[in-house]
A = this chain, B = another copy of it.
Amino acid sequence: MRQEMISNEINILRDTFRRLLRRKANTNLGKLIDKTHPADLALLFRFFNELEQNKLFAIMKPNEHTGEFLGELDESIIKRLIENETPEHVAELIQYTTSNDKTSILNILDEEYSQAILDLMKSEEQEELEEIMGYPEDSAGSLMYTDVFTLHENTIAKDAINALQDHESSEMVFYLYVINDDNILVGVISLRDLVTTPQNTRLKDMMIRSLESVRPETDQEEVARIVTQYNYLAVPVVDKDGQLLGIVTVDEIVDVIREEATEDFFQMAGAGKDREILMKSSWDNARSRLPWLFASWVGGVCAAAVIGFFDNTIKDTLALAAFIPVIIGMGGNIGTQTSTLVVRGLATGRVNVGNNLTIILKEIRVGIILGILYGLMLGLFAIIQFVDISPYLGLVVGLGIAGSMLIATAFGSLVPLLLQRLDVDPAIATGPFVTTSIDILGVSLYLGIASFFLTA
**A373 to B283 alpha-carbon distance, docked (Å):** 12
**In the assembled complex, A303 has its CB within 8 A of some CB on chain B:** yes
Instruction: Give the residue name and chain of the B residue nearest to A343 (CB).
Output: B265
Tell whether, in the assembled complex, residue A46 and residue B352 are in contact, meaning their CB atoms are under 8 Å apart. yes
Q: How far is the CB of A443 from chain B (nearest CB, A)?
A: 6
Instruction: Give the residue name and chain of the B residue nearest to A257 (CB).
Output: B257
Kindly identify which residue among B2, B173, B344 contacts A219, using a CB–CB cutoff of 8 Å: B2
User: A174-B174, A336-B269 given as contacts; is B191 within 8 A of A262 (CB)?
Assistant: no
Tell whether, in the assembled complex, residue B352 and residue A325 are in contact, meaning their CB atoms are under 8 Å apart. no
How many positions in chain A have a CB within 8 Å of any CB in the partner chain? 127
**A276 to B348 alpha-carbon distance, docked (Å):** 11
| Chain A residues touching B, majority SS | helix
Tell whether, in the assembled complex, residue A340 and residue B47 are in contact, meaning their CB atoms are under 8 Å apart. no
Tell whether, in the assembled complex, residue A293 and residue B333 are in contact, meaning their CB atoms are under 8 Å apart. yes
Tell whether, in the assembled complex, residue B369 and residue A286 are in contact, meaning their CB atoms are under 8 Å apart. yes
**In the assembled complex, A40 has its CB within 8 A of some CB on chain B:** yes
User: A354-B11, A439-B325 given as contacts; is B333 within 8 A of A195 (CB)?
Assistant: no
Can you list 20 contacts pairing A with B, beta carbon distance less than 8 Å? A11-B352, A46-B355, A191-B191, A191-B195, A228-B258, A231-B251, A233-B233, A233-B251, A253-B254, A254-B257, A258-B261, A271-B337, A277-B341, A293-B337, A297-B378, A304-B326, A307-B325, A308-B319, A324-B324, A328-B329
List A residues at the B interface (Cβ < 8 Å).
Answer: 1-4, 6-7, 10-11, 14, 37, 39-40, 43, 46-47, 161, 164-165, 172-174, 191-192, 194-196, 218-219, 221-222, 225, 227-231, 233, 250-251, 253-255, 257-258, 261-262, 264-266, 268-271, 275-279, 282-283, 285-286, 289-290, 292-293, 296-297, 299-301, 303-305, 307-308, 311, 314-315, 318-319, 321-330, 332-334, 336-337, 340-342, 344-346, 348-355, 359, 362, 365-366, 369-370, 373-374, 377-378, 381, 385, 420, 423, 435, 439, 443
Q: Knowing that A276-B350, A283-B369, A326-B439 are A-B contacts, what are 12 other residue pairs whose CB atoms are under 8 Å apart, sorted by A's residue number? A: A7-B352, A165-B196, A250-B250, A269-B341, A297-B326, A300-B326, A301-B381, A303-B322, A304-B323, A324-B324, A325-B443, A332-B332
